[in-house]
Amino acid sequence: MLFRFQQALALGSALVALTTAAAPAAAQQGLPLGGFELGQNVQLGTPQSGLLTIQPDRLFSESLFGKRVAQEIEAEGAVLTAENRNIEADLRAEEQELTARRSAMEAEAFRTLADAFDRKVQETRSTQDQKLREISQLGETARREFFAASLPVLEGIMRETGAGVILDHSTVFLSADVVDITDLAITRIDKVLGDGVDQPDGTQDQ
């Protein structure tokens, strides 16, 4: 009975870790256009291919907004983990007490108590799983809001470069005329959004 709850706690900890994980370190870096470093105050001109790329995971996780969200999720996850440990200790103590009483009880009476304990474990597991899902939803909601708020900045970069499209960097296999704008976009989005706490759309409450 209690073992199943312990399994749920282990799965929950793994999901929180995945939720708060940073973008992969092996993400490829974009190629500068015409020898200029991105972010310098220069006119990039019109790329021959009219093509820009961006690394969405880095854009979010390395922005001030994304870092703030990651910290909040980590804090919520730590609270849930501590709560789960306390619940597990209480359930273990209750199970041991029930086991100790078994020899002095009628089989039917013991089965009634054991079934009640099993229901309690399952209900507790369901409640804690729901809390975990809510923490995960915080990150998903914040990510959607971030990209929606970032669109005007990205559109501005497109106008400046004369590009007709921005692709996910991971989808481009090889091109000599592609410029990755992730670092430039992070710098500009940070100036506009900051960490998102003071944004009027209420993202700080998510």
Q: Which helix (H) or strand (E) holds 74?
A: helix 64-101
Can you give the C-alpha Rg of the chain in angstroms?
Answer: 25
- Residue 102 pLDDT > 70, yes or no? yes
Most confident of 36-50, 73-87, 155-169: 73-87
Give the chain's domain count: 1
Q: What are phi and psi of 167, to 5 degrees?
A: -105, 155
Q: Which pLDDT does position 152 carry in this prediction?
A: 96
151 lies in which domain range?
2-205
Paired tokens of 77: 């996850």
For the ranges 49-63, 72-86, 172-186, the lowest mean pLDDT is seen at 172-186
- Residue 121 pLDDT > 70, yes or no? yes
Q: Which pLDDT does position 41 carry in this prediction?
A: 39
* Residues pairing with 166 in the sheet: 52
For the ranges 20-34, 89-103, 172-186, the lowest mean pLDDT is seen at 20-34
Q: Which pLDDT does position 42 carry in this prediction?
A: 38
Paired tokens of 75: 């804090």
pTM: 0.67
Q: Which pLDDT does position 199 carry in this prediction?
A: 62
| Residues with Cβ within 8 Å of residue 149, at least 6 apart in sequence | 192, 193, 196, 199, 201, 203
Kindly report, residue by residue over 161-170, the tens digit of the pLDDT: 888 889 999 9
